[in-house]
Amino acid sequence: MSDIPPVGAQPTVAEKIFTFVDERVGLKLLAAKMLNEAVPGGSRWAYVFGSVLLFIFIMQAITGALLMFYYVPTADHAYDSTQYILHEIDYGWFLLSYHFWGSSAMVVCVFAHMSQVFLWGAYKKPRELIWVVGLALFGLVMAFGFTGYLLPWDQRAYWATTVGVEIVDKVPLLGDFMARFLKGGPIPGQMTLSRFFVIHVMILPAALIALAGLHLFLFRCAGPAGPFRGTPTELKAKTDYFFPRQIWKDIVGMAVVFACISALAFWEPVVLLDEATPDPGDYHPEPEWYFLFIFQHLRLRMFSGEFGQFLASIALPGALGVVLLLLPFFDRNPERNIFKRPLALIGWVMSDRWP
Ligand code: HEM
C-alpha cells in the first residue's frame, strides 16, 4: 500500500494517531528494524523457543500480578489467602494453576531452547556472550521456581524449602551466609516468607527483564546463527525475514504452549496440603520435578555422609555449570554440524543422566 492516500481521501483517526506518534518516535523505522531481521536459511520451528519463553514470562508476570491482589505474604495469612484464591475467587483456581504450570512450561522451554542452540552450535564464536547471558537466565528461571514454591505455605512448600536451604548451606564460602539470609531465623518463618516473596516478585523479575534485554541486544549484534548445514551462498539464497514467516511460527508456538498450560490447569488444578508446620509428621519432603534429581542423588548410598551429600548437591551440579559456562571458550572448532561433533551429541544424549 502506498503511503500517499488517494486524492480526496481523509486519513482515519487511527492513521492520524499513527502519523502523530511516528513523527515523534519514528515508529515505522522501529518496526522495520524489529521485523526486517534476516533469518539465514529461512524460518524454522526450531527457532520458536526463545520467543515462546518471552511469552511465558509475560504471562507469568500478568497472572502473578493478578494473584498478588489477593495473596497475603505473611506466615499467618499466606495459606488462608491461597485457599481463598483457590476456592472463593471466580476462576482463582485457574489463575493459580495456570501460574503453577507456567513455571514448569518455562523450565521445559528453557531446556528445549538450550538444546536447540547447543545442537546447532549457535554458542560458538561470535555468540559466546549470548550463551553466557543465557546461562544466567537459566539460573533465574530455576530461582523463580525455588522461591515461588514456598509462597502457598503448605507442608510441601515448607519442607521442600527447608531441604533446599540446607543444600544452599553446603555451598563453599558463601553458603552459610546465603542460607542464613534466606531463612532469616533458626527455622523457616515470617522472615523466610518475606524474603522469598520479595526475591520472587521484585528482584528476579527485574533481573530477568534486564538480562533478557541484554540477551536480545547481543543476539541482534551477532545476528541469527542459522542452520548448521549449507554453504553461505545456499543460506543466502534461502534467507527469510523475521516478519512474516518466523513471526507466524512463533505465534503458533505461543498458542500451543498457552493451550497446553491451560489444559494442565484445567485437568490438574493446584491442591494444597495441610498448612505449614515445623513438625513434618509422616510427610516426606518433595521438590518440584525440576529439582527432583538433586533429591534423588542425595538418597543414593554412594552419596552418603557429609562429603557425599556435598558432592551430589553442590560439587557435581556446580562442575556441570562451570563446564557449560566455559564451553564456548574452549570449543573453538568452527564446525557447527552436530553430526560432525560426536562428543557434543553424546554429551547431549547423556545429559539426562548428569547430576
Ligand atoms: C528466560 C530465558 C531465555 C529467553 C527469554 C531467551 C530468549 C531468546 C531469544 C528470543 C532469542 C532469539 C532467537 C531464538 O529465539 O532462537 C535467543 C537466542 C539465543 N539464546 Fe536464548 N533465551 C533464554 C535462555 C537461554 C539459555 C538458557 C541459553 C543457553 C545457555 C540461551 C542461548 C541463546 C543463544 C546461543 C541464542 C542465539 C541463537 C542463534 O543465533 O540461533 N538462551 N534467546
> Is residue 6 situated within a structural domain?
no
- Residue 305 C-alpha to ligand 1 middle, in angstroms? 39
At 199, give phi and psi (nearest 5°).
-65, -40
Residue with CA nearest ligand 1 atom 14: 50
Residue nearest to atom 11 of ligand 1 (CA): 50
Which residue has a Cα nearest atom 16 of ligand 1? 47
Domain count, the chain: 1
Supply the residue whose CA is at minimum distance from atom 6 of ligand 1. Answer: 50
Q: How many angstroms is it from 110 CA to the middle of ligand 1?
A: 8
Residues 231, 339: Cα–Cα separation, whole Å: 16
Is the residue at 27 inside a domain? no
- The answer to whether position 303 is within a domain reads no
Residues written for the chain: 355
Rg (CA), the chain: 24
CATH number at residue 190: 1.20.810.10
Residue of 51, 56, 117, 351 with the most ligand 1 atoms within 8 Å of its CB, for mutation: 117
Give a three-class secondary structure readout of 324-350.
HHHHHHHCCCCCCCHHHCHHHHHHHHH
| Residue of 132, 144, 215, 221 to mutate, ligand 1, most atoms within 8 A of C-beta | 215
Identify whether 99 is part of a domain: yes
Residue 229 resides in a domain: yes
Closest protein CA for atom 2 of ligand 1: 137
pLDDT truncated to tens, each residue of the chain (355 aa)? 556 667 778 899 999 999 999 999 999 999 998 899 999 999 999 999 999 999 999 999 999 999 999 999 999 999 999 999 999 999 999 999 999 999 999 999 999 999 999 999 999 999 999 999 999 999 999 999 999 999 999 999 999 999 999 999 999 999 999 999 999 999 999 999 999 999 999 999 999 999 999 999 999 999 999 999 988 888 888 999 999 999 999 999 999 999 999 999 999 999 999 999 998 888 888 888 888 888 777 777 777 888 888 888 899 999 999 999 999 999 999 999 999 999 999 999 988 765 5
Q: Quick check: 158 and 276 in contact, CB under 8 A?
A: yes
Pocket lining: 53 vs ligand 1, CB cutoff 6 Å: yes
How far is the C-alpha of 19 from the C-alpha of 346, rounded, in Å? 55
Residue closest via CA to ligand 1's atom 28 equals 134
Residue 321 lies in a domain: no
Q: Which residues contact 103 (CB under 8 A, 6 or more apart)?
A: 60, 144, 145, 148, 288
DSSP state at residue 283 = P
SS3 category, 190: helix
Residue 110 has what pLDDT?
98
Residue 11 preceded by cis peptide, ω within 30: no
CA of 248 from ligand 1 middle (Å) equals: 18
Write out the residue range of the structural domain in which residue 137 sits: 39-275
Query: Is the C-beta atom of 106 inside 6 A of ligand 1?
Result: no
Asked whether residue 328 is domain-assigned, the answer is no
Strands (E), the chain: 38-39, 240-241
Q: Is the CB of 151 under 6 A from ligand 1?
A: no
Does the C-beta of 122 come closer than 6 Å to ligand 1? yes
Report CA(49)–ligand 1 centroid distance (Å): 8
Q: Ligand 1 centroid to 50 CA: how many Å?
A: 5
Residue 55 lies in a domain: yes
Q: Is the CB of 193 under 6 A from ligand 1?
A: no
